[in-house]
Amino acid sequence: MRTPGDMPNGAIDAASGSYPVELAFPDIRPYAEGNNGIPYAFSFDSGQPGPHVMINALTHGNEVCGAIVVKELLDLGLRPRRGRLTLAFANVEAYQRFDPARPDASRFVDQDLNRVWTAAMLDDLSRDSAELRRARQLRPLIDQVDFLLDLHSMHERCAPLAVCGPLDKGLALARQLRTPAWIICDEGHPEGCRMRDYAGFGDPDSAKNALLIECGQHWEGSAAVVGRDVTARFLQLHGIIDADDLPENWYQPTAPELHVVRVTEPVVASSMDFRFADNYTGLETFVEAGTVVAWRDGEPVPTPYPNCVLVMPSLRQLRPGVTVVRFGQLLG
């Protein structure tokens, strides 16, 4: 097994059925100490008034684009002009287990780090996992954050998505950022609460806000391009940096038109007997209600309304209780 520190560019064995690995996995071990008492986390205070903004990478250990962006920000020596900036690598333990022969296996160690973000779960010390231990490490820092950008990627090759949660404030933030072109409004997952919905981020009465950006397929080269662009624009939007504080090539053209999809319901596997009607990768839109898009335990799964959009369909993590796709209504 190769470690992320010496992972080359190139394709993995096609027999694995996975996408080629087009991105080099950076060695993040030199950042282990951090600078704020939390391993692999760094905070920089400008001394000037402004919000506390956090750029988070590696919520899932096989989603390398965020790690590339955070490492580059650290290597560039970026410092906030106003407010406070935090840069973090989250599930490092999973990342360090990445194996190109089993690229989906390093999503997490014991449980999904992006399903544990409730006070009840974090406070319940009778529950233990590698991910809960890391979440408890990060929690005091995240509790101080005003605006969170959580950089993710997807199992399948799909246009990038801004996942803004269920609240109007999340949608407004995604519209302000103006990239990616597709905005997904959703309630999250039945399995548990995401970091972007944690505490004030998910409270309509709080000024705190968060976006989760799905930058592309996990290992495609363009995912890092999207990650740099959304990060630069997010930092500039909140006044943390000026436009020329990052290289010009970090910025990509903004989308001429935004498309908003409101997720209405998850489709959850009840067993291993689940299959799609076609090789869907995401954002497939079905004009007619009642179109069969999958079979679950031998029963058809139809679209519930016209102009139904498939949001992040994938069977790569198939097991009972897992959301394998979400239905969304195209709002415009």
- Which tens digit of pLDDT belongs to each residue from 246-259? 999 999 999 899 99
Rounded to whole angstroms, the Cα distance separating 215 from 60 reads 13
Rounded to whole angstroms, the Cα distance separating 9 from 163 reads 29
pLDDT at 9 over 60: no
The pLDDT score that the predictor gives to residue 106 is 92
The pLDDT score that the predictor gives to residue 99 is 86
- 89 — pLDDT class (breaks 50, 70, 90): very high
Whole-prediction pTM value?
0.91
Rounded to whole angstroms, the Cα distance separating 128 from 106 reads 19
pLDDT at 60 over 90: yes
Mean pLDDT of the chain: 93
Comparing CA positions, the residue from 181, 146, 150, 145 lying closest to residue 165 is 150
pLDDT at 129 over 60: yes
pLDDT at 8 over 90: no
Neighbours of 60 (CB within 10 A): 22
* Length of the chain measured in residues: 332
- 105 — pLDDT class (breaks 50, 70, 90): confident
Rounded to whole angstroms, the Cα distance separating 244 from 253 reads 16
At 266 the three-state DSSP class reads strand
pLDDT at 328 over 60: yes
pLDDT at 17 over 90: no
- 102 — pLDDT class (breaks 50, 70, 90): confident
Give the domains, in start order, of the chain with CATH numbers. Answer: 4-250 (3.40.630.10), 262-330 (2.40.50)
- Which tens digit of pLDDT belongs to each residue from 166-214? 999 999 999 999 999 999 999 988 789 999 999 999 999 999 999 999 9
- 122 — pLDDT class (breaks 50, 70, 90): very high
- Which tens digit of pLDDT belongs to each residue from 261-279? 999 999 999 999 999 999 9
- Which tens digit of pLDDT belongs to each residue from 279-327? 999 999 999 999 999 999 999 999 999 999 999 999 988 999 889 999 9
The pLDDT score that the predictor gives to residue 18 is 74
pLDDT at 13 over 80: no
Q: Rounded to 5 degrees, what angle do the CA atoms 323, 326, 329 make?
A: 165
Is residue 328 a contact partner of residue 308, using CB atoms and an 8 Å limit? Answer: yes
Query: What are the residues facing 116 on neighbouring strands?
Result: 193
Q: What is the DSSP string of 92-150?
A: HHHHTT--TTSTTGGG-SSS-GGGB-SHHHHH-TT---HHHHHHHHHHHHHTT-SEEEE
